[in-house]
Amino acid sequence: MAQDEKVGEFITIERVGRVATVRFDRSDRVNALSARLLRDLAATARLLRDDVTTSAIVLTGGQAFTGGADLADPEMASRASASLLERREMLRAGPDMCDAWEALDQVTIAAIEGFCIGGGVALAVACDFRIAGRGAHFRLPEIPLGMNMSWHTQPRMVNLIGPSRAKQLTIFGERVGAEQAERWGLADEICDDGKALECARRWAEKVAALPPVSVRMAKRGITQAATALNAAVTFMDADQFALAATGEDSREAIAAFLEKRPPNFTGR
């Protein structure tokens, strides 16, 4: 029988047998990642980390997986007036959340419907597998908005899709549809729209039927082999973001986006 558990305001955990389904849902179209939601997602992963009764975790959003970081969140907006030291601490929430999901020994499967943008991609690639509805798409808008791609994401994408495709996804900021994502290796299976959660649960049940200790050891060994240098190449992520976000190009990019005009970048 299913058992539901709440974490914060927007996260529920449903446990059936050795499978846990985590849903984060702000009940709107965008399902953006506020600072509070980032911390709650990290807390959810840490809660599940010690759960020896669970072999697989399915992570899903609401109407869409997520539109990424909530730039309208007052807590995120307060970064602009914070000191550099305070800003560095505030910027830990995103990478800490992704690291917490990658650190899970249970197999993690992201069920993606609609769009998966920015921080949503960062979270999805911190999971082991990604199942997407046929109409879903992935996009990283950070570079065109004058920011950098942080949250320890770039080496994870290189691990999955190789350097050339990781550069395409990151630098151009263009949407990558589900079928293209599957060809690249960013998505592991495509299903009919509305069926991603059902399909992801089938993957989870396959994991749950296997010996849990062996599965955990295999997952951890493969993850460590693939990510051994990741920390060394991403330790400056937050500082790069703090620098890029204060540049004139970042302000110009956001103004151009809001005014629906081409940006004029100067490198300042």
**Which amino acid, one-letter code, is at 114?**
G
Give the domains, in start order, of the chain with CATH numbers: 3-194+210-259 (3.90.226.10)
Contacts of 143 (CB under 8 A, 6+ apart): 149, 170, 171, 172, 173
pTM above 0.85, yes or no: yes
Q: Which distant-in-sequence residues (6+ apart) come within 8 Å of 105 by Cβ?
A: 49, 216, 219, 220
CA distance 99 to 78: 24
* Per-residue model confidence (pLDDT) at position 1: 45
Residue 188: per-residue pLDDT: 98
**How far is Cα 23 from Cα 136, in angstroms, rounded to an integer?**
17
pLDDT tens string, the chain, 268 residues long: the values are 455 899 989 999 999 999 999 999 999 999 999 999 999 999 999 999 999 999 999 999 999 999 998 878 888 777 777 787 888 888 889 999 999 999 999 999 999 999 999 999 999 999 999 999 999 999 999 999 888 888 999 999 999 999 999 999 999 999 999 999 999 999 999 999 999 999 999 999 999 999 999 999 999 999 999 999 898 888 888 888 778 878 898 889 888 888 989 999 998 8
Spatial strand order of the sheet with 189-191 comes to 3-7, 11-16, 19-24, 56-60, 107-112, 129-133, 189-191
Backbone angles phi, psi at 246, to 5 degrees: -95, -5
Report the chain's terminal Cα–Cα distance, integer Å: 58
CA separation, residue 164 to residues 160, 229, 237, 262 (Å):
11, 18, 20, 26
In angstroms, the CA 233 to CA 236 distance is 8
